[in-house]
Structure 1
Amino acid sequence: MNSATAPEPRSVLITGGNRGIGRAIAEAFLAQGDRVAVTTRSGGAPDGALEIKADITVPADVDAAFTAAEEAHGPVEILVANAGITADTLLLRMSEEDWSSVIETNLTGSFRLAKRAAKGMLRLKRGRIIFISSVVGLLGSPGQVNYAASKAGLVGMARSLARELGSRSITTNVVAPGYVETDMTSVLTDEQKDAIRTQIPLGRYARPEEVAAAVTWLADPASGYVTGAVIPVDGGLGMGH
């Protein structure tokens, strides 16, 4: 492809882009030549990305993150709301804090991000909003009532935004990973990992890069007619949900 036909680099903002799935997503957009900003609470953004210290549970931090990305790279054209936490325990042991902290980060944080992103995208009359959910949000999981509720909520949010924003060429979609080889799954015992693998038709965990590939596909100009969709990257675990 010569320079005359090469696509223009786009302004991309990814939350939680310093490790795991978020880092793989950031690296995939960087490899395409896009201008990438990542938010992180602890540092460690990939080389080539603009690192922004931000906590998505703090509204002022969200606004400041977008302002920093806009000043460096121009209006945000692609938002990937990836940052999330867990606080797993059985229902009768789950505290109010266990519930509220997970909902505040995973669901309310994504609402703040989408609202701030939509302002710029509406002016541009184009944009991509991509939420990173989980197969757990579709299948459920014992000990993860809070996490599953937060991740399921992203589907309703995305589909509502797809209807609200679609007339301005803004798409809103969800990627729902299954079990992925990350720091979060590395703490499982070998027995737990083996038990999970037996439920997955492909018989293995996903690589973060495989989740990133689905995200970059949704952000591609060729995917402009896909909105309100839930794309599973779960090895067949969710199978149609």
Structure 2
Amino acid sequence: MTNKRVAFILGGSGGIGKAVVEKLIEQDYAVAVHYAGNKTKADTLVETLVASGGKAISVGGDVADENQMISAFDVIEAHFGGVDVVINTAGIMKLSLITSLDMEDFDLIQRTNVRGTFVVSKHAALRVRKGGAIINFSTSVTRTNFPAYGAYVASKAAVESLTLILARELRGKDITVNTVAPGPTATPLFLSGKDDKTIESLANAVPLERLGQPSDIAETVAFLAGPARWVNGQIIFTNGGLA
């Protein structure tokens, strides 16, 4: 049990998720670091956080498997006494023109990004304590409409709609529900499969003329997780001004 505010970060062992974990630890949260497949990576992060005086545990599970997510919430509640903030950074991205996308890849993207967000949001809505927050993740490409992002953007557009509806369904619960939509951000997920020219072009498309860093996104998440009690049912484009 803990008197600290408790955050459950899905996909918390790498990329944006890891930056969010570290930011919330700085702000005196207790954290549950979720992993889907790489238990060692999550456990190593937790060990580092605990050694520095933080309160952290690792929790595994497939975000699209409802029973596994129920078990994950059970573990967190048993260890910390409850959960206040759920942040779902977990997701996959496979780039392909719509005409050449393998439909098995399409199904995998939708299972993780849409079903996974639905499952996590459903049980977050049932478990998060009064004064809490649910934060999902989309992408700025839902507005820029870059080629080859069709299946990924379709999944994230669904996440945006789900978030806006859930915010209204939780009327009277004092729980905010928002989506963060990053622009080009230097994570392994974003950089994978892109050559230097493509990365430079995307960085230059931003008025600030750089890629976002995971820490940039974590700042927005921390705001929505804590002080932003009047921000609800919104999509926050955290992208340096990408049009």
Task: Give TM-score, length-normalised by structure 1.
Answer: 0.90
Task: Give TM-score, length-normalised by structure 2.
Answer: 0.89
Q: Which moved more, 1:50-59 or 1:156-165?
A: 50-59
In structure 2, the gaps of 5 or more residues are 50-55
| Preserved CA contact (<8 Å) 1:161 1:172 | yes
In structure 1, the gaps of 5 or more residues are 1-7
SS of equivalent to 1:172? strand
| Preserved CA contact (<8 Å) 1:137 1:147 | no
Q: Which residue of 1 aligns with 2:177?
A: 172
| Preserved CA contact (<8 Å) 1:138 1:152 | no
Aligned pairs (5 A) from 1:16-165 = 16-40=11-35, 41-43=37-39, 44-45=41-42, 46=45, 47-48=48-49, 49-121=56-128, 124-165=129-170
| Preserved CA contact (<8 Å) 2:86 2:135 | yes
Deviations 1:55-82 (A, max 9, x none): 1122221111111111111221100011
| Preserved CA contact (<8 Å) 2:64 2:117 | no
SS of equivalent to 2:64? coil
AA aligned to 1:12 is A
Give 2:211's match in structure 1, choosing from 205, 208, 216: 205
Q: CA deviation at 1:184?
A: 2.4
Q: Which residue of 1 aligns with 2:10?
A: 15
Cα distance in 1 between the residues matched to 2:151 and 2:190: 18
| Preserved CA contact (<8 Å) 2:93 2:189 | no
Cα distance in 1 between the residues matched to 2:160 and 2:143: 9
| Preserved CA contact (<8 Å) 2:76 2:83 | yes
Q: Which moved more, 1:58-67 or 1:203-212?
A: 58-67
Cα distance in 2 between the residues matched to 1:141 and 1:100: 20
Q: Return structure 1 stretches of 4+ with deviation > 4 angstroms.
A: none
AA aligned to 1:158 is T
Would you say how many aligned residue pairs link Structure 1 and Structure 2? Answer: 228
Q: CA deviation at 1:185?
A: 3.3
AA aligned to 2:28 is G
| Preserved CA contact (<8 Å) 2:86 2:133 | yes
